[in-house]
Amino acid sequence: MERVPQDAGRVRRFVVVGGALLVVAVAAYWIGSQGGRGGEAAPRPNATPTPSATLTTPEVFKRVGPSVVVIQAGKAFGTGMIAAEDGTILTAHHVVKGAKDVTLTFADGTKAKAVVASSNPKRDIATLKPERLPEIVVPATLGGVVAVGAPVVAIGNPLGLTYSVSTGVVSGLDRTSKEGDLRGLIQFDASVNPGSSGGPLLDARGLVIGVVVSIADPGGDEAFAGIAFAVPIGVALGGDEGDGPPGGPQI
C-alpha cells in the first residue's frame, strides 16, 4: 500500500469484486495537446461547445449521466465514460488490468463486450473499444479550469450502486503519492468508493476535469475518509507522464 504526502494516509485503489449487487440505471485543466507515446491511442476530445453557465448538480447529472458506463471486468466492477464521438471509453487502467472479459452497460441499458484499445499503467489510464454502441452516443465534454475550493461532482458505480452522484470541492492540486508512482493528481472530497474508479470528476459546468482513481485509506479498511484523487484529464489524454506503475488496492 502506498502513502500520500504528509498525513493523508495510505492511498487505496480497488474495484468492486464479484458478489456486489449491480443495479443498472437506464437513464441516467488541462486538455492534452500531445498524443501518448509507444502507440497509445488517446481518445479524441468531444467537439461539443464548452458550456459557459454554472449548473446545479441535477443539471450536471442530466448532462453527463448518459456518458457514464458501467464496466464489469471479470468479477470486478468499475466505471468509465464515453470520451469521443466514436464511442471510445476512458477509464482507469487498474479497472481492466488483466481482465479477459470486459462488458459495458451504457446508460440506456445497452450491453456490449469491449476490448482494451490502449493502456498506460504510468498514468493509470486505459481506453476501451466497444463491440457495439447505443443508438445515441453521448460523449462527455473534456476539459475545464481546476482551482482549489471549486465545486466538483463525481458520477460512478460505488459498491455496485450504479449512476451514483456525489459532490464536494477540489481540496488540493498537484498531489503526488509518497512513492512518486503517480503525480499531478487532483485531490477532492466528493465521496467515492469501490467501483467508482474510472468515473468522471466534473466541474460546475459539467466538464470532465479528471478520472477518479484512488482514495486515501488511513484506517486500512477501504472506507472513504474524505480524501480522494483523480488523474487530471490533460494527463489522461497524454499531456504528461507518470513516474511508474501505480500500486496498492484499487477503487
Q: Rounded to an integer, what distance in angstroms lies between the CA atom of residue 11 and that of residue 229? A: 9
Which amino acid is present at 221?
A: D
Is 16 within a domain? yes
Identify the domain containing residue 129 by its residue range. 2-34+55-236
- The pLDDT tens digits for 158-189 are 999 999 999 999 999 999 765 567 789 999 99
In angstroms, rounded to a whole number, what is the distance separating the alpha carbons of residues 188 and 86? 30
Q: Any idea what DSSP says for residue 240?
A: S
CA angle 208, 64, 22 (to 5 degrees): 110
**Residue 152: which CATH number?**
2.40.10.120
Residues with a catalytic annotation lie at: 94, 124, 197
Instruction: Read off the C-alpha cell for 217.
Output: 485509506
205: in domain: yes
Residues 71-125: pLDDT tens digits?
999 888 999 999 999 999 999 999 999 999 999 999 999 999 999 999 999 899 9
User: Within a domain: residue 244?
Assistant: no
Alpha-helical (H) ranges within the chain are 57-64, 93-96, 233-236
Please check whether residue 216 is in contact with residue 232, taking contact to mean a CB–CB distance below 8 angstroms.
no
The pLDDT value recorded for residue 226 is 85
**Residue 250 is assigned to a structural domain of this protein:** no
User: Is 243 inside a domain boundary?
Assistant: no
**For residue 228, what pLDDT band results from cuts at 50, 70 and 90?**
very high
Confirm whether 41 is domain-assigned: no
- Is it the case that residue 64 has pLDDT exceeding 60? yes
Question: pLDDT class for 32, splitting at 50, 70, 90?
Answer: very low
Report if residue 161 sits inside a domain: yes
Task: In whole angstroms, give the CA distance from residue 148 to residue 128.
Answer: 31
**Residue 65 is assigned to a structural domain of this protein:** yes
Number of domains in the chain: 1
